[in-house]
Amino acid sequence: MADVAAAPEKKEDLFGIVAEVDGRQKQLVLLNLSFGRLIDEIVVPYEEVSWKLSAG
């Protein structure tokens, strides 16, 4: 039986964000976000709010 080497694990890039949020005295700090989570939790909601404000 031939020895098969496992492919090296690809390290996922992680991101952090510091933001000011209305109604909060301190900055919001989110760390260790995957790219997908960054898009889902920060970018998409921000775009939805921006779109609603510009349409209204």
Q: Is residue 43 part of a domain?
A: yes
7 pLDDT above the threshold of 70: no
Determine the average pLDDT of the residues in 17-35.
91
pLDDT at 47 over 60: yes
Instruction: With respect to residue 4, please indicate whether it lies within any of the assigned structural domains.
Output: no
Is residue 19, in this structure, part of any structural domain at all? yes
Residue 28 lies in a domain: yes
CB-based burial label for 42 (10 Å; 0-12, 13-18, 19+): middle
1 falls within a domain:
no
Residue type, 16: G
- For residues 47 and 40, give the distance between their C-alpha atoms in angstroms, rounded to a whole number: 11
pLDDT attached to residue 3 = 64
Q: Which residue has the higher pLDDT, 1 or 20?
A: 20
Mean pLDDT score, 32-53: 89
Number of folded domains in the chain? Answer: 1
Q: What range does the domain containing 39 cover?
A: 15-55
Check: pTM over 0.85? Answer yes or no.
no
Where do the H-state alpha helices sit in the chain? 35-38, 44-55
> Is the pLDDT score of 21 beyond 80?
yes
